[in-house]
Amino acid sequence: MTPPSELSATWSRITGALQTIMSPEVYGLWFPKFSLLEDSGKTLTLVCDDPMAALWVENSYTPELKQAAMLALGTERQVKFICADEVASITSSESQPQKAPSRTKTPQVQDSPAAPAKKQRTPGARASLNDLYTFDSFVVYEDSRFAYKAGLSIAQSERALFNPLFLYGKSGVGKTHLLQAIGHEVLHQDSSANVVYVTGEQFANEFIDASRTQNGQSFAKLRRKYRKADVLLVDDVQFISGKEKTVEEFLHTFDELFHAHKTIVICADAAACDISNLDSRLAARLESGLTVELNLPDDEARLEILRSKRDRAGMNVSDEILEFLACRIQKSVRRLEGALLRVATFTSLSGDMPDIAKIEQLLRDILREENSRILTVDSIQKRVADFYELKVSDLTGKRRPNSIAFPRQIAMYLSRRLTECSLKDIGHAFGGRDHGTVIHANKLVASRMEEDVRVRDIVLRLEEDLKD
């Protein structure tokens, strides 16, 4: 380990460089809260006792930190963040007798018997997990409760009743947070568990790199990394869709882990049936376990999320402002949290509590995006009905001649693509049909669009008209 005095000196040089590239107000607000925990020569690990400050700095000032490190140290550094309470937790656990492992471990094969000992890292850091994404920091609302409980169950069970767990939903609903929270909980139960977190894009890139080297050792190392996992967490799996050889490798990895009773949790931005060009074998595997959809929170849930974030971080933001944000920002929880952080930063720097007019000015870019046209199932039904010279009641009714059934299926397809509504809500809007009917409509329309250029042109024209 690097001596504390050397770390302190290094951090002083970096912060000195930081103060030359940012305002004193911004520096004074955030960076005195941080200290340098470790410098590996390639990565700086910063520690902070304020989780929200760590999240804000990671999202907003990582480029400036890298620039300052280059100026101060002369070489490029990556930057990682860790919370002070986790450092204390790890230190405490190392001095306590180890708990009996709760999972059957896959023996880990060393790359070389003479490999030098590596510097100690926290279990979460070894698994590439964000320290802020835990179950404790996840705000549970009605539409996320089932996903939360499913995630907690699979993390705490040696052999869950379901495997894999497949979570899907639009961007910004908390999938990545839950996915990484599962990893943290597994490591909390047993710090020696081999938890591997990877995005679909990262998996594809690693496979492509191994293919280009045409080196058997590269493939062996890649397969050892993923197929020796006790828990495999895959985010944004839709990125491997259409990449035939990558999918083949992923299927073999999935099967080996599944048959060894290892835990597999996968996230995507859509249901398996709605992911474009997804291999049918992979779709079948995703649907073979427990599938849970996460939907955007309603007004009350958004307000609860904001209150929780404010209270945990000790932000000086009034309830009136939280209610305004919850009402006006509906499309993304991530955007909602970003707006809160922006307001909190303003109040800290100015010392004043802004009024609503000032908030609107401060968040004008976010509010402009939110105010862009919001499509509803009703508006889609009306546009499709007008195009086919039908009544909306024809699309929502029980009649099934092809002159009505196919326009109805197109309207369902567009509702799935252009709105945030769940399969259940879309089915309900079309005369109380179930989610299976909506899934069938999506598959049928997608298939017809591939086979018939006229159908594709009609659907694309309707989509463009609705977006204008």
* Binding positions: 172, 174-176
Query: Beta strand pairing status for 43-48 and 34-39?
Result: antiparallel
Query: Minimal CA–CA distance to 173: which of 272, 302, 286?
Result: 302
Which residues make up each annotated binding site for ATP? 172, 174-176
Give 38's strand partners. 45
Is 441:433 a contact under the CB 8 Å cutoff? no
| CA distances for 383 relative to 85, 199, 417, angstroms | 55, 38, 15
**180/58 Cα distance (integer angstroms):** 17
What DSSP state is assigned to residue 409? H
**Cα separation values, 389 from 163, 233, 279, 393, 404, Å:** 47, 48, 37, 12, 10
Closest by CA to 121, choosing from 48, 209, 191, is 191
- What sign has the CA pseudo-torsion 133, 136, 139, 142? positive
Residue 346 token pair: 């303003």
- The DSSP H or E segment spanning 326 is helix 319-328
Phi first, then psi: give them for residue 237, nearest 5 degrees. Answer: -65, -20
CB 37 within 8 A of CB 46: yes
Alpha helices in 141-243 (DSSP H): 145-156, 175-189, 200-213, 216-227
Peptide bond into 164 cis (omega under 30): yes
Q: How far apart are CA 241 and CA 268, in angstroms?
A: 11
Whose structure tokens read 């939360």? 148
Is the link from the previous residue into 3 a cis peptide, with omega within 30 of 0? Answer: no
- DSSP type of residue 99: P
Rounded CA gap, 350 and 348, in Å?
Answer: 6
First to last CA, the chain: 59
How far is it, in rounded angstroms, from Cα 388 to Cα 403? Answer: 9
Q: Retrieve residue 149's tokens.
A: 């409980």
Q: With CA atoms as reference, report the closest residue to 201 among 250, 149, 135.
A: 250
Spatial CA neighbour of 421 closest among 305, 330, 295, 327:
295
